[in-house]
Amino acid sequence: MPEEILRLAHVVGATVLLGTGAGIAFFMVMAHRTGDPKLIAHVAGTVVIADTIFTATAAIFQPITGYLLAQSIGWSLQEGWIALSLLLYILTGIFWLPVVWIQIRLRNLARSASAAELPLPAAYHQLYRIWFACGFPAFFSVIGIFWLMLNKPSIALL
């Protein structure tokens, strides 16, 4: 596969990861702020679908396109900035995987509250706080990866 196509695929994948993640976070926060279980259930349902279609797909293809691009250009995966990018990618995944499960639970709790015409339960609010907290390290890790990819700093491995 030509380098230009790999580079484009890798940049599009990175953009989808960052854009979908930021969009999902925005819509979940805005829905949560209403306190309306019916609205939250609807938005969380859409968020779960978007995470499955866009984020998961991009997350799978990013390391593949990155590896193929590195091979095409002749970069070693042990190059400092690439190794650090991979570590940050793993860190992002460590925070993203629980978030997916939490989003499903938030959706289900909001659906149950809506169907019973009750307020959101304490479990919803506790999970939401965890979901919110997990977003920061994941987001800043992705920003770090973008910075590393753009600048390719010389980083010596131990």
pLDDT tens-digit readout, 16-57: 999 999 999 999 999 999 999 999 999 999 999 999 999 999
Low-confidence ranges of the chain (pLDDT < 70): 1, 158
Q: Could you tell me if 108 and 128 are in contact, meaning their C-beta atoms sit under 8 angstroms apart?
A: no
pLDDT score, position 156: 85
Query: The whole model's pTM is what?
Result: 0.89
Q: In whole angstroms, what is the distance from residue 85 CA to residue 77 CA? A: 10
pLDDT given for residue 112 in this prediction: 98
Euclidean distance between CA atoms 24 and 5, whole angstroms: 28
Q: Which pLDDT does position 157 carry in this prediction?
A: 78
Domain ranges (residues) in the chain: 3-151
Q: What is the DSSP string of 104-148?
A: HHHHHHHHHHHHTT-PPPHHHHHHHHHHHHHHHHHHHHHHHHHHH
Structure tokens at 1: 């596969």
